[in-house]
Amino acid sequence: MDIRVLKPADIPHVQSTNITNLPENYFMKYYLYHALSWPQLSYVAVDVSRPKKTPYDPPKIVGYVLAKMEEEPVNGIQHGHITSLSVMRTHRRLGLAEKLMRQSQRAMVEMFGAQYVSLHVRMSNIAALRLYRDTLGFEVEKVESKYYADGEDAYSMKMNLNPLREQLEADEDYADEGEEVGDVGKKEKKKEDGEQGKTKRKVKLGRGLGVGELVERNESSKA
Amino acid sequence: MAPPPSPQMLGSKERSLFTQVVKNYENKQYKKGLKAADQILRRSPNHGDTIAMKALIINCQGNAEEAFALAKVALKLSMKSHVCWHVYGLLYRSAKDFEEAIKAYKSALRLEPESQQIQKDLALLQIQTRDYQGYVQSRRAILQQRTSWRQNWTALAIAQHLAGDLTNAERTLSTFEETLKGVPPKTDIEHAEAVLYKNVIIAEMGETERALEHLDAAAKNNPDRTSVMELRANHLLTLGRKEEAAKVYRMLLARNPEYRDYFEGLQSALGIEKSDVKALKNLYGDYAKQNPRGDAARRIPLDFLEGGDFREAADQYLRHMLHKGIPSTFANIKALYPDTSKRDAILELVEGYAAGEAPPVANGSAEKQPNSDKDLFKISARYFLAQHYNYHLSRDLNKAMKYIDEAIESVPESVDYHMAKARILKHYGDPKKAAEMMEEARELDLRDRYINTKAAKYHLRNNDNEAAIQIMSKFTRNEAHGGPLGDLHDMQCVWYITEDGESYLRQGKLGLALKRFVSISSIFEIWQEDQFDFHSFSLRKGPIRAYVEMVRWEDHLREHPFFSRAAISAAKIYVKLYDQPHLAHGSLINGMNGDHMDSAERKKAEKKARKEKEKQEKAEAEKKDKKAALDLNGEPKKEDKDPKGELLLQTSEPLLEAMKFITLLLEFSGRNIQAQQVGFEVFIRRKKFLLALRTLIASHALSPTDPITHEQMFRFQQSLSKLSEPLSPKAMQVINAEFNTLLPASTDLTKHNDEFLQRNHNSASHVQGYLKVRQLIDPSSKEKNQQDIIRTLALDGSSLEDAVRGLDMLEEWKAESRYKDDYLVAAHERWPEASAFKQKVD
């Protein structure tokens, strides 16, 4: 199983993996929106040992993490958000979800100077809760009632990325270059286009609005 | 005739009203806009620009036809108005007729060369339609109007890059860089991206040396660490600076030890030959030690190790995985199975693990988990063996069943084990039992969508579309227009729509089948259109390497097997409709095969079906009346006037409809032999002999012994010899010359066919191909063919699929029932569980 960054060509199978595993689904454009806005942040797990049936078989995706940066961070504090993460049942217990998350988190810090990463998880999803809390070190920030379309509540979780940043800075290749990365990203705020993505609306955003709406709004505000 | 009025001719009140209309349009205040427009038109009924704006608004309200009519009126009144032409272009753009839109924009631009908006709209369409030269021109014009914007420079560079002009693309990027005062800070992500983009362009020019220099000079502090390292490792390796390359690959592996590309890079950088097993073993051994939780460094050596080394490594790997009870162990191992010695070694190892001791008998549902790690290990081994014997290269379904039953006995609540059992039942050829078993698995974990998905899929394989959608509806957004199925379409759930279509096809419900395959095609159209917004979005957002990659991917979007699978089926249905036009009404005869009925029977059945249909339609109409459906944006959704695909079936030109799919298949999936073969079926019926020949040549090159191609060559030869009108001498000449290389004119066809049999007599599908051809050459051989097809059932390598196809051949030949009965008896003997052969035996 390869772990590597998500490419546009992976999207049809990422979309399939998502709709096979999870009730929160998105159309292609929403995946493209992630892949073309923060191409460093989304990762896939690929079954590379699968024999090809035709010369055109795309890589078989067995897991993915779809991630983004918050477009309008409060107080300008850069932070990432996990839009969706899933691994096929047939490929669970290989630690793929954790590996995907760790790659994404490092990219959030390196590329965008993220201070923390947030996500939502169904309160009933014990396995995911365990991964986020026990394995990765997320903390429950609050409960968002009726966050999901079917009325289920969500834990809103957060993970501080500063320890990761310190660890990365301590790494040799960083020491070599000897530059502070602490304030990376502060400047981007003014460049970010306005997504109104309030947490509550996320599901609807993916399903109902997608990039089309985002893009149109951006265009009209720029015009 | 009076000169056309223009905005200047409006009074001042109307002028400000006109501004108001434009604003209303931009803010989507359509009603207000229309009101203001009508106010102007009361004073100046012939004001073209206002009429044009009105058309634009009406179009946004969903009335394209009226909009076009109005826009034409506007243009007639004001041929010299860029507004009217611009609007005309926008209407075409929204109707997806990009070619006409481009023409209209260009007319508008000739009248108003300074308009940024028109220029931009034109540019978007040019890149969408891949008019690279036009795009370069437009981007240059846009840049000239505003040279201070970085994104205008970047956009021109992208245009040049995509147009293949790498030198100028680089120059454009450099020209802007030279205007920068000092090096932008590390936090300037747009700059960081532009630097890496330039590096990619330099590398694409083949100037690796310079690319490396550039990277080292300009990207030292680039925040996209992964990209910088990957580029650097690549450049160094290309330049043969192996030691440095190895160092970078090691850094990459330290960050991500689960990526084979990095390992392969490191291997080359270290100069390790693929044959140097010892060195490879050491390399991966080191990485395995460094990464106790890693998989790649442990799994990769199984690919290159042989003999005792392999056995030892496989033993370690399998023990590790099975002790942890990792369900994907077999999935991760089966790629080794084409190598029979490895397959045997693995089987021996795992059988050893499983035989260690009798499995503990679980007491009802008292135990949730196996007692101990040791039990888990043994049960996992049995699960592995079940999968092993279920796999097509090592299939022994009875053994598979024995092992999975043991595993289930030990862990009765295991979803995975029940799922495996359902798969085994599927391979037995009993889709009904398989679906029931998958249903059992689903009930063990109702909250898991994965197993829900599998259960729905198995219902479809069992041709129970109702049950399938029922199951799917537990996770879909059922308030969507069209209910669960509507949601699955909205969410572009390709697998479901495809399987649903294939299921209907198996049932002979061609309308619904075609409907689904056409839906897949529409989803691909949406995916192609999806890129449109990103032509501008990505420039603003900045990550242009990803954008360029997206553009290149979209260029061959339709080679995706999601598309070809549906397209091949759709084309086959159209061919069927051409051959048997009465099937266009066949969907009325639910599932019955019209072939076997005499006309009175058919009429009766059709009448009955029509009545049923009317009843159904009435019920549906009543249901619909209740409330108008809204789409995702809360706007009324367009009604699907043909939910069952009946109108699709009634096409008068099935072969032309098929061509919509064939053209895309042959353009994008030419190396898929099935695409070529279905192409042949369409061309030969359209009497396009040159094109049919081209597919034969392609099929033959892909697989010289393919039995379908073998048969198609004969049919081609026959068609040529039975032409009602001779082809032009020139066409004949080309055909003869080309076809001669495949099947020389002097060939004794019978002999050729016999030789084909001799070379492939152990393969059922080849023997079938042989028999089909024998039937073609000599229809009087039917008797013999009907007998001989039964013999294919006894061949060692015969598969269930082969046997089902053989049965279809008997149907095609309209064989007498005693032959079919004999065939069914023999097939049932070999595949006693398969439902396809059960019907007449019981």
| pLDDT at res. B618 | 66
Q: Are residues B438 and B577 in the same domain?
A: no
pLDDT of B565 above 50:
yes
B655 Cβ contact list (under 8 Å, min separation 6): B574, B575, B578, B682, B685, B686
Which one of B469, B488, B507 terminates a domain? Answer: B488
**CA dist B102 to B124, B143, B172, Å?**
10, 20, 26
Q: What is the reported pLDDT for B396? A: 94
pLDDT digits (tens, 9 = 90+) for B739-768: 988 888 888 889 999 999 999 999 999 999
Q: In this model, does residue B78 exceed pLDDT 50?
A: yes
What's the whole-number mean pLDDT along residues B239-243?
95
Say whether pLDDT at B62 is over 90.
no
SS3 B246: helix
Are B430 and B557 found together in one domain? no
pLDDT category at B605 given cuts 50, 70, 90 is low
Does position B151 have pLDDT exceeding 60, yes or no? yes
- Residue A114: what are its φ and ψ, rounded to 5°? -65, 140
Question: Is residue A50 within 8 Å of residue A82, measured between CB atoms?
Answer: no
Determine, for residues B550 and A90 on separate chains, whether the beta-carbon distance falls below 8 Å.
Answer: no
Domain that holds residue B142: 7-187
For testing contact with chain A, the best of B117, B187, B250, B376 (most A CBs within 10 A):
B187
Domain count, chain A: 1
The answer to whether residues B692 and B731 touch, using CB atoms and an 8 Å cutoff, is: no
Beta partners for A68? Answer: A81
Option in B187, B451, B531 nearest A186 (CB): B187
Would residue B333 count as lying in a domain?
Answer: no
**Residue after which a domain boundary falls, among B488, B523, B550:** B488
What is the DSSP code (8-state) at residue B360? Answer: P
Q: Looking at the predicted structure, is the pLDDT value of residue B232 above 60?
A: yes
Segment B287-336, tens digit of pLDDT: 999 888 889 999 999 999 999 999 999 999 999 999 999 999 999 899 99
CA distance B59 to B56: 5
* pLDDT at residue B585 tops 90: no
Instruction: Say if residues B440 and B811 touch (Cβ distance below 8 Å).
Output: no
| B723 vs A215, residue with greater confidence | B723
User: Is there a domain that residue B247 lies in?
Assistant: no
Contact A56 B561 (CB under 8 A): yes
| Residues B514, B612 share a domain | yes
- Residue showing tokens 């083949």: B206
Question: Among A207-221, B85-99, B485-499, B656-670, whose mean pLDDT is lowest?
Answer: A207-221
A116 backbone dihedrals φ, ψ, rounded to 5° = -155, 170
Nearest to A42 by CA among B226, B273, B599: B226
Specify the long-range contacts of residues B316-325, CB closer than 8 Å, at least 24 apart: B318/B346, B318/B349, B318/B350, B318/B353, B318/B384, B319/B353, B319/B377, B321/B380, B322/B350, B322/B353, B322/B377, B322/B380, B322/B381, B322/B384, B323/B373, B323/B376, B323/B377, B323/B380, B324/A93, B325/A93, B325/B376, B325/B377, B325/B379, B325/B380
Please indicate, yes or no, whether residues B472 and B521 belong to a single structural domain of this protein: no
Domain with residue A104: its CATH number is: 3.40.630.30
- State the Cα–Cα distance between residues B98 and B130, nearest whole angstrom: 11
pLDDT at position B401 is: 97
From chain B residues 129-148, the ones with a CB under 8 A of any chain A CB are none
Q: What is this model's ipTM? A: 0.89
User: How far is it, in rounded angstroms, from Cα B59 to Cα B94?
Assistant: 8
Total domain count, chain B: 3
Q: Which CATH number is B540's domain given? A: 1.25.40.1010
Higher-confidence residue of B254 and B614: namely B254
Stretch 416-435 of chain B: residues touching chain A, C-beta under 8 Å: 416
DSSP assignment of B34-68, as one string? Answer: HHHHHHHHHH-TT-HHHHHHHHHHHHHTT-HHHHH
Residue B649 domain-assigned (yes or no): yes
Residues B439 and B470 grouped into a single domain: yes
Asked if B507 and B542 sit in the same domain, the reply is yes
Is there a single domain that holds both residue B541 and residue B664? yes
Q: Check B546 against A8: CB less than 8 A apart.
A: yes
Beta-bridge mates of residue A2: A46
Distance between CA atoms of residues B536 and B125, nearest Å: 11
Q: What is the pLDDT of residues B194-229, one digit of tens each?
A: 999 999 999 999 999 999 999 999 988 899 999 999
B360 pLDDT higher than 80: no
Instruction: Select from A27, A33, A85, A209 the residue whose CB has the most chain B CBs within 10 Å, as the one to mutate to test that interface.
Output: A27
Alpha-carbon distance of B123 to B117, in angstroms, equals 10
B87 and B39 in a common domain: yes
Cβ of A99 within 8 Å of Cβ of B543? The answer is no
| Tokens coding B609 | 């079906």
Size of interface A-B (CB pairs under 8 A): 208
Whether B2 maps to a domain, the answer reads no
Written as six digits, the tokens of B803 are 């046997």
* Claim to verify: residue B517 and residue B465 sit in the same structural domain: no
How large is the average pLDDT for residues B523-531? Answer: 94
Both B21 and B152 in one domain: the answer is yes
User: From the DSSP assignment, how many helices (H) and strands (E) are in chain A?
Assistant: 8, 7
Contact flag A208-B633 (C-beta cutoff 8 Å):
yes
* pLDDT of res. B257: 95
> Percent of chain B having pLDDT more than 90?
70
Q: What is the DSSP letter of B372?
A: S
What six digits make up the tokens of B457?
């899929």
For residue B171, tell me if it sits in a domain. yes
Q: What is the pLDDT of residue A220?
A: 32
Three-state SS sequence of B270-298: CCCCCCCHHHHHHHHHHHHHHCCCCCHHH
Question: Can you tell me whether residue A139 is helix, strand or coil?
Answer: strand
Range in A166-170, B251-255, B325-329, B670-674 with the lowest mean pLDDT? A166-170
The enclosing H or E element of A44 equals: strand A43-47
Task: Give the pLDDT mean for B6-31.
Answer: 82
B255-291 CB burial, b ≥16 within 10 A, e <16 = bbbbbbbbbebbbbbbebeeeebeebeebbeebbeeb
Q: Specify whether B478 is located in the same domain as B588.
A: no
Pairwise CA distance, residues A223 & A216, whole Å: 10
Along the 223 residues of chain A, how does pLDDT read in single tens digits?
Answer: 899 999 999 999 999 999 999 999 999 999 999 999 999 999 999 998 777 778 899 999 999 999 999 988 888 899 999 999 999 999 988 899 999 999 999 999 999 999 999 999 999 888 889 999 999 999 999 999 999 888 889 999 999 999 999 988 887 554 444 444 334 333 333 333 333 333 333 333 333 343 445 433 333 333 2
- Whether B177 is covered by a domain: the verdict is yes
B302 is a domain residue: no
Averaged pLDDT for residues B435-448: 95
Q: Which amino acid is at B496?
A: Y
Q: Where are the beta strands (DSSP E) in B286-351?
A: none
Please report the pLDDT score of residue B602 as a whole number: 62
Q: Which residue has the higher pLDDT, B249 or B290?
A: B249
Task: Provide the residue range defining the domain that includes A97.
Answer: 2-177+184-222
Residue B3 has pLDDT above 50, yes or no: no
pLDDT score for B292:
83
Measure B264 CA to nearest chain A CA, in Å.
Answer: 13
Mean pLDDT of all residues in chain B?
A: 89
Domain CATH number, residue B432: 1.25.40.10
Residue B127 belongs to some domain of the structure: yes
pLDDT higher at A194 or B826:
B826
Is B634 a residue whose pLDDT tops 90? no
Question: Are B324 and A215 inside 8 Å of each other by CB?
Answer: no
Cβ–Cβ of B490/A103 closer than 8 Å? no
How many C-beta atoms surround the C-beta of residue B44 within 10 A? Answer: 17
Whether residue B464 is found in the same domain as residue B507: no
Q: From the CA of B407, how many Å to the nearest CA of chain A? A: 16
A119 strand-pairing partners: A157
